[in-house]
Structure 1
Amino acid sequence: MAESAVSFLLNHLSTWLQDERQLLGGLERDIDYIQREMGHMRDFLRVADAKEESNPNLKEWVRQVREISYDVQDVLDDYILRFTHRGTNGLGGLIKKCYASIKDLKARHQIASDIQVINNRLEDASKSQQRYREMYAVMDQGSGPTLSKNEWHDGRGEALFLEEADVVGIEEPKKQLLEWIWSMDNGLEVISVVGMGGLGKTTLVKKIYDDESVKRHFSRHVWIVASDYTDVKHLLANLIKKLVWKTKESPPQELEDMSADEMREFIYEFLQQKNYIIVLDDVWDISRWEAIRFALPKRGVHGCIIITTRFKSISNAACSETNHVYTLEPLSLEESKELFYKKAFPRNPCPPYLKEFAQSILRRCEGLPLAIVVIGGLLATKNNRAEEWELFNRSLGHELEGGDLHRLSKLLSLSYYDLPYYLKYCFLYLSIFPEGDLLEKEKIIRLWIAEGFIQEKPDKTMEEVADGYLNELLSRSLIQVADKAVDGRPRTFRIHDLLRNYIASKSREQNIVAIYGGGNMQWPNKIRRV
């Protein structure tokens, strides 16, 4: 997130320097220094953001850089407020101008002093950056890895081993997917399952993949977790290995030396005249689908590809010819209750004195199966003690931040960390809306523009750019449409309660928004928004 803060600052600095350079006077060199040093830091922050959780010193450095970028924004805002209001006429105007010039001298001195303090802090941060850069052997800017999806344990592994008895509400989705599979003619069928993290996409598709009728029908079965592969060649090579392993053959000896196109050609020839099913689980990047799309023959085969993704844009692109996109919905209240009771009370029914707490917790899970399974399993260890349940229900948000639900928090964090920097600000800012509120489209757009979160783009109004940001969050399954206007366009949105809890904690941690919840809450040293 520090990378987002710095990128946000650099974007505004570039625009500001173009428009206001004539007002800088003797501050121009200092501002140029800030822009240059922040630019050097931004690329390394991509490494730091991935490493900071395991290194407290690095985490503190990231926090310092973030606060420096915030303070620079504040100084620039103060400068703009003081020195961009000109235009006086007549004697009265001349007197005001003379009075203002005296005030300007004091203001310029104060702002120059503030900038010098920031530059000193920036110089110290730059020295620390060099130490960390050497520590992680990052020799070139931007060469470090970004946060990898598979560095986070997100529960997908457990989904592959769930028993049928542990799964609830899967009958209708499974029936629909099987109907699509059996209705296919010779050729290539592409099916995608889309929805937010934790809805059970992997679990559903695994039940299809393991179905006895599917096993009998297809002679080749391959399961690929697309997010495990760092590049296209790695994905294609492992697909080849899994295909030939099923036939007890050996992969080509020159596999590692083959180009991506040569690998695609090998797959194309290998699958000719065969019937097969391939699952691409957890697709985050359209390039993962494009990597194998042209390696799959469409004639002389009986092939089925099933994709799971959180991105509507990916699911629509992959299924543009078949239109077989299944949007997985949350469990109903009854299904949620059934699954929760299985996990929280594995041997006995729910005691009457715990039913109110159970209902409250289920409302906040909002039909998210993984959340229900994790929370239910955790509460099963509380030995049905009412005081333990009451405390957990009251502190659910805290548990997501770093308590027993940290695993669930990591699953939610995957979508956040995958956002581009300009969307991270916009998404975290949605935490200002109270729990359960509908988010009005026009209100969100106006607030984003007023806060300066929207980047100008040629031939587009700020409102059109902000509307595109909302559509991208919608495509990533981070928000859902709650209501539409007469013309079919979204009018209000909603955000899952647990996801809102997560972004509220991140907003507080990143000092984007401080939310007052009553009581004796501890405020941060510096508050940017309340």
Structure 2
Amino acid sequence: MAYAAISSLIYTLNQLLKPNQSLVYPCCTQQHLQSLYQTLSALQNFLDNTTKDIETLKVIEKRIRNVVYKAEDGIDSSLRSIILADREDKRQKACRSFYEELLKVEQQVYFLNKEVMLLEFNKHGSKSAELARISSSPEKSTIEENSIVGMEDNFNTILDRLTTQTDELTVIPIFGMGGIAWVTISEEYNERQMLLELVSSITGSKQETSDDELMEIVYRGLKGRRFLIVIDDIWSTKAWDQMQRTFPNDDNRSRILLTTRLKYVADYVSCPNFPPHDLTYDNWKKVEENLNSFFGTVSERCQSILYLSYNYLPQYLRACFLYIGGFPEDREINVSKLIRLWIAEQYVKARNNKRLEVVAEEYLQELIDRRLILTGTRSHTRRMKFCKIHDLLRQLCLSEAHTENVVQIMNGNDLEAIDDQRRIILLSEVEETHDYGMQHSSGIIRTFISLQVDFPERICSIVSKFKLLKVLDIISLWCDFSGVIPELVHLRYVAAN
């Protein structure tokens, strides 16, 4: 992932730019390090703020990711040679190599930034109209549209709110994971399109006129009448502010039913919203079972909807979310461990002088508020100890994490098949007798996490080949690692029993 790749390299540069840091001096000047740092920061700001369509952005991100990964490999390899040099002549030679590598990387990243900025200001690029059409116009469901499956109690509560005797205009927000509603999904709010649909519903015909006139037609068409309006999948408070001006309040028991996947939108629109509490993992399991019995597997039907929630994530949350998919299915995830790993991977950026652990907790809460992560067991102080991810969202994570080269999930005996993956999570036992013919590309592995019970002695020699390793987490270790650790000079995080 481009954003995470940049964060990792920026962290390395930050270490080298610290006062009194003499590791690479006088082999290069601070000016080159600072120049590279600023260019990478500009690329990261671009990813934070770009308005490019999804298809174009993915192409740009892949280009950035590939260049930055290669740059990081070169710099980290050169730094390792400097750190491990046992004679002054070797160190001087390693320093010269680092300087040459830095100049090459500085030039590559500079031209990459130019290339990206050129794309950003090119107003005539493809907007992937076909992709947008497919995303906003899913195939018509073959299920009867008046069927409600699961969460009957909440359905009845909403029905009561819709039919209550309160005269004033009432807004009922439904907040939850993507896919719970039945109307067209729309990620980007289009006021004119909304007005055209409302006019068509009220008058029975489409009218091409100005937005102000359309708003007047809607308002006059609803004035004095009792109405029910369903607004599905709203993504921002600004969109709601623009919409609500269109609806008259005549104290005639009119109702607006609104769905959203963002908690702050639901809270902004009305209080209370539904469901009134976080749905648990077990709740969602029951819903999935109901859906499966109703029309078979929901996986393919839901993936396109769930991808909207992922694509709408800010850049700083994407790698954090995909990383969670690496943990075993149907098992609670230790929040403290997850936060430590996020920080070690440089996914967490400093925010308002807060400790990184606090910022990481805010990240996790954002994912929970977007209904991408489920809350698990809490401590007696109500602090979250564990979290969970729904199976459908984990499938999305695994697919996207592999594509974005965030993390690769493997069985123990597949280690020899490592290709160009940078982060490996082992989910099953490794056979002590297995012959691992590790490929040369194992040298680029930055994270190695083993979630198996035992870690055989022969694996120690395998890990020693991961020369640029930064994160090492092993549940149970049965060998002497004292000769391996000093060789892994880039380690930021080590955990083992």
- Partner secondary structure for residue 193 of structure 1: strand
Residue deviations 1:9-30 (CA, integer Å, cap 9, x gap): 5864785576359756534343
Match of 1:162 in 2: 143
- Partner secondary structure for residue 419 of structure 2: coil
In the TM superposition, residue 154 of structure 1 has moved relative to its aligned partner by 7.7
Q: Which has the higher helix share?
A: 1
Would you say the 8 A contact 1:47–1:145 is kept in 2? no
CA distance in 2, matches of 1:274, 1:465: 49
Q: Report sequence identity in percent.
A: 24
Would you say the 8 A contact 1:196–1:478 is kept in 2? yes
2:304 aligned partner, one-letter code: K
- Partner secondary structure for residue 174 of structure 2: strand
Paired residues for 1:207-226 under 5 Å = 226=186
Which stretch shows the higher mean deviation, 112-121 or 412-421?
Answer: 112-121
- Partner secondary structure for residue 377 of structure 2: strand
Closer, same or farther: CA 247–477 of 1 in aligned 2, 3 Å:
closer
Match of 1:202 in 2: 181
1:158 aligned partner, one-letter code: K
In the TM superposition, residue 453 of structure 1 has moved relative to its aligned partner by 1.9
Would you say the 8 A contact 1:225–1:280 is kept in 2? no
Match of 2:66 in 1: 67
In the TM superposition, residue 181 of structure 1 has moved relative to its aligned partner by 0.8
CA distance in 2, matches of 1:190, 1:271: 16
Closer, same or farther: CA 335–187 of 1 in aligned 2, 3 Å:
closer
Unaligned runs of 5+ in 2: 421-443, 449-497
Would you say the 8 A contact 1:514–1:523 is kept in 2? no
- Partner secondary structure for residue 313 of structure 2: coil
Unaligned runs of 5+ in 1: 86-97, 207-223, 345-371, 375-404
CA distance in 2, matches of 1:340, 1:114: 55
- Partner secondary structure for residue 365 of structure 2: helix
In the TM superposition, residue 275 of structure 1 has moved relative to its aligned partner by 1.6
Would you say the 8 A contact 1:226–1:288 is kept in 2? no
Would you say the 8 A contact 2:17–2:33 is kept in 1? no
Match of 2:55 in 1: 51
Match of 2:409 in 1: 515
In the TM superposition, residue 473 of structure 1 has moved relative to its aligned partner by 0.5
In the TM superposition, residue 498 of structure 1 has moved relative to its aligned partner by 2.8
In the TM superposition, residue 477 of structure 1 has moved relative to its aligned partner by 0.6
Is 2:161 aligned against 1:180?
yes
Equivalent residue in structure 2 for 1:110, among 97, 100, 104: 97
Is 2:33 aligned against 1:139?
no
How many residues get paired?
Answer: 417
Closer, same or farther: CA 106–151 of 1 in aligned 2, 3 Å:
farther
Would you say the 8 A contact 2:137–2:185 is kept in 1? no
Paired residues for 1:432-471 under 5 Å = 432-471=326-365
Match of 2:232 in 1: 281
- Partner secondary structure for residue 308 of structure 1: strand
CA distance in 2, matches of 1:5, 1:146: 25
1:189 aligned partner, one-letter code: T
Paired residues for 1:23-422 under 5 Å = 23=22, 25=26, 26-35=28-37, 37-38=39-40, 43=46, 50-51=54-55, 59=59, 62-73=61-72, 104-119=91-106, 121-122=108-109, 125=112, 133=119, 138-139=121-122, 150=132, 153=135, 157-159=139-141, 162-163=143-144, 168-169=149-150, 171-198=152-179, 201-203=180-182, 226-227=186-187, 229=189, 234-235=190-191, 237-248=192-203, 255-256=210-211, 258=212, 271-320=222-271, 322-325=272-275, 339-340=291-292, 343=295, 372-373=297-298, 405=300, 408-422=302-316
Closer, same or farther: CA 170–433 of 1 in aligned 2, 3 Å:
closer
Closer, same or farther: CA 145–108 of 1 in aligned 2, 3 Å:
farther
- Partner secondary structure for residue 187 of structure 1: coil
- Partner secondary structure for residue 361 of structure 2: helix
In the TM superposition, residue 123 of structure 1 has moved relative to its aligned partner by 6.4
Residue deviations 1:328-358 (CA, integer Å, cap 9, x gap): 77777777556535545xxxxxxxxxxxxxx
- Partner secondary structure for residue 32 of structure 2: helix
Residue deviations 1:387-429 (CA, integer Å, cap 9, x gap): xxxxxxxxxxxxxxxxxx4x65433322222111111121122
CA distance in 1, matches of 2:126, 2:237: 22
Would you say the 8 A contact 2:173–2:260 is kept in 1? yes
Closer, same or farther: CA 192–174 of 1 in aligned 2, 3 Å:
same
Closer, same or farther: CA 105–11 of 1 in aligned 2, 3 Å:
closer
Closer, same or farther: CA 62–512 of 1 in aligned 2, 3 Å:
same
Would you say the 8 A contact 1:168–1:339 is kept in 2? yes
Which stretch shows the higher mean deviation, 288-297 or 473-482?
Answer: 288-297
1:109 aligned partner, one-letter code: R
Which stretch shows the higher mean deviation, 282-291 or 4-13?
Answer: 4-13
CA distance in 2, matches of 1:332, 1:99: 58
Equivalent residue in structure 2 for 1:529, among 438, 447, 465: 447
Residue deviations 1:283-321 (CA, integer Å, cap 9, x gap): 22232222223444445443211111222222222222x
2:381 aligned partner, one-letter code: D
Would you say the 8 A contact 2:177–2:370 is kept in 1? yes
- Partner secondary structure for residue 387 of structure 2: strand
Closer, same or farther: CA 140–426 of 1 in aligned 2, 3 Å:
same
In the TM superposition, residue 178 of structure 1 has moved relative to its aligned partner by 1.0
Closer, same or farther: CA 125–494 of 1 in aligned 2, 3 Å:
same
TM-score of the pair, normalised by structure 2: 0.68
Closer, same or farther: CA 145–286 of 1 in aligned 2, 3 Å:
farther
In the TM superposition, residue 527 of structure 1 has moved relative to its aligned partner by 2.7
Residue deviations 1:423-467 (CA, integer Å, cap 9, x gap): 112112223322222112222222222222221122422221111
RMSD, aligned α-carbons = 4.4
Closer, same or farther: CA 37–17 of 1 in aligned 2, 3 Å:
same
Higher-RCO chain (CA-CA 8 Å, sequence separation at least 6) = 1
CA distance in 1, matches of 2:339, 2:360: 6
